[in-house]
């Protein structure tokens, strides 16, 4: 049986301490601690029907975009016109 050392893979949860936005809909979230790397960041949006996407990071400022999910009704398809 193989053993794995997960001691370096500790997940911490942190809320943002400040929030700003620009005219393009990007939201800058300032966190308390600088993340180890971009791929170490897990984003979660707890509002049903919305998704949060990672855009970029500079030190403690993470830029995200929150998008409302859309759906197509069977009886009212999107035609593109």
13-31 per-position pLDDT tens digit: 777 788 888 877 789 989 8
Contacts of range 49-58, beta carbons closer than 8 Å, 24 or more positions apart? 55/26
- Whether the model pTM is above 0.75: no
Between strands 50-58 and 26-30, the pairing is: unpaired
* pLDDT 10s digits, 17-67: 888 888 777 899 898 888 877 777 888 888 888 888 999 999 889 999 888
């Amino acid at each position: 049986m193989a053993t794995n050392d997960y001691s370096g893979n500790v997940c911490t949860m942190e809320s943002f301490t400040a929030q700003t936005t620009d005219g393009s809909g990007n939201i800058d979230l300032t966190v308390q601690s600088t993340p180890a790397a971009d791929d170490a960041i897990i984003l979660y949006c707890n509002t049903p029907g919305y998704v949060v996407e990672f855009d970029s990071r500079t030190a403690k400022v993470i830029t995200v975009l929150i998008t409302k999910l859309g759906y197509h009704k069977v009886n009212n398809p999107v035609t593109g016109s």
